[in-house]
Structure 1
Amino acid sequence: MDIELALKAEGFDVSSAMSCFEASLWLNRYRPDIVVVDIELQDGTCTDVAIRLLKNDIPFIVYSGDRQSFHVDTPFAQGTWIGKPAPPEDIVHALKVALAGRTLAKLSGNA
């Protein structure tokens, strides 16, 4: 919840999902600019959510206690990785950098 508060304080519009199922339902209705993904949610590993984000060209930050090396050949490897625990400021910074890079790519016609 510290991360959610930090993101809101920085002006992000934040929605949370506690399960892969809930995240999938939310993605049926909305197209976010960027997502923070935890690999393990209440109902299991959210690989399908990561695949969906990749297919829809939605950038994501992976915030996980897992080692990144365990996920080299998974969809999570395509996200920007931040290991748990991390200060909320690190996640805010990663989101801003990813969004700024995406904006620059669109402006230059590369996205």
Structure 2
Amino acid sequence: MAKKAVVLVAEGEPFIALDLELALCDAGFTVFLAASCEEAQRWLADERPAVAVLVVRLTDGECAAAARTLVLMGVPFVVHTGVIPEGFDSAFASGKFIAKAVGPQEIVALVRSTIPADLPEPPLRAAALRADARAAGWLPFED
């Protein structure tokens, strides 16, 4: 059975996040929800989504660090926003913009069109790599 593509959704509005999660799961995706920029960054430290849906600003600030991380990882992303603020981080320009007024199905269609056909396998998690290195004797100590 094929593995489901993982979508990171960084959205601070609970009802919008729930709508997106339900629509994306119904479309066959696995979804990780992040309600803050910090939560999205923590998740991205160990995981690689197939695509992400970000808002520009969450309760703890602008999600520029997450956008920059996605650009560095080569992960496509959708910027789901009502207003494009003045002076927003240039990393957001790498995403595809869609207005918050659209319904979840339009976002699902954009997410589908954004995922590359030759989707790379996600890398092993950092914890799994450390465990393998420890088992091989390369890391003799516990962290």
Q: TM-score range by the shorter chain?
A: 0.7 to 0.9
Asked if residue 103 in structure 1 is aligned to residue 120 in structure 2, the reply is: no
> What is the 5 A alignment of 1:1-111?
1-67=18-84, 70=86, 74-99=90-115, 102-103=116-117
* Structure whose CA Rg is larger: 2
- TM-score (norm. length: structure 2): 0.66
SS at match of 1:62: strand
Measured in 1, the distance between the counterparts of 2:93 and 2:55 equals 13
Paired residue total: 103
* 5+ long unaligned stretches in structure 1: 107-111
Quick check: which one's strand share is greater? Answer: 2
Misfit runs of 4+, over 3 Å: 70-73
Superposition deviation, residue 64 in structure 1: 0.6
The separation in 1 between residues aligned to 2:89 and 2:53, in whole angstroms, is: 19
Q: Cα RMSD (Å) of the superposition?
A: 2.0
Question: 1:72 offset after TM fit, Å?
Answer: 7.7
Give secondary structure in 1 for the equivalent of 2:44: helix
TM-score w.r.t. length of structure 1? 0.84
Percent identity of equivalent pairs: 36
Q: Which has the higher helix share?
A: 1
